[in-house]
Amino acid sequence: MSIKIIVVDEHKILREGLSSLINKQPNMKTIGEATDGREAIEIVNKLSPDLVLMDVTMPNLNGIEATRKIKSKKPNIEIIALSLHSDRRYVLGMIEAGVSGYLLKECAFDELVQAINTVMDGKKYLSPEISDILIEEYTTKNSNDKSTIYSKLTPREREVLQQIAEGKSTKEIAKNFSISIKTVETHRQHIKKKLKATSIAKLTKIAIREGLTSL
């Protein structure tokens, strides 16, 4: 039986390229694609894949938050991060969210196939560059440098912060989450207070630094 895979990436050409290569494998099949984290959650709930290839930095909802939401409701679905970023915050964020593998997009397709098969066998797969980051993290015991985003904000506050950083208006955010404008303003005030940020510029800087969004 083929491994059912969903490819999540904001770039259409990459999604289509990966899907084409995956479908040439005898034991793999792409059953869906998504452009951002929010769409990924919807498609996963609808199609129930075996594995998701998840980009990390995407608009509307990033890969870290999408992974958290998917794993909380469907823990048996395997997720592999496939990203341009080797920054420790992205790597640790995805691993803590529950991914079983992390590869850089510069990897050869053969390595991706190996990662998929390894993860579906119940093991973990990290590219060498990512392994080095984890080794450095845990050998230096850098436990005091945890992300303020994930330790201080609720999941909804992180979602709102990402949309603020991406330039969405209060009205747009309210519509996206089907909540009132007043509720969005309340979230905004709580976020500013918790992160000790007095301006949108500072909130945006924090969101980028912590991996919620990118420039």
Query: The tokens of 119 are what?
Result: 């993860």
pLDDT per residue as tens digits for the range 53-95: 999 999 889 999 999 999 999 999 999 999 988 888 888 889 9
Examine the fold and report which residue of 139, 156, 189 is the final residue of a domain before the chain moves on. Answer: 139
Residues 135 and 70 in one domain: yes
Rounded to 5°, the CA angle 95-90-84 comes to 115
Residues 33 and 121 in one domain: yes
Residues 71 and 118 in one domain: yes
Could you tell me the residue range of the domain that residue 183 belongs to?
146-209
Query: The tokens of 80 are what?
Result: 């592999």
Residues 134 and 203 in one domain: no
Query: The tokens of 144 are what?
Result: 């005091």
CATH code (residue 175): 1.10.10.10
CA distance 127 to 34: 24
pLDDT per residue as tens digits for the range 176-214: 999 999 999 999 999 999 998 888 888 888 888 777 887
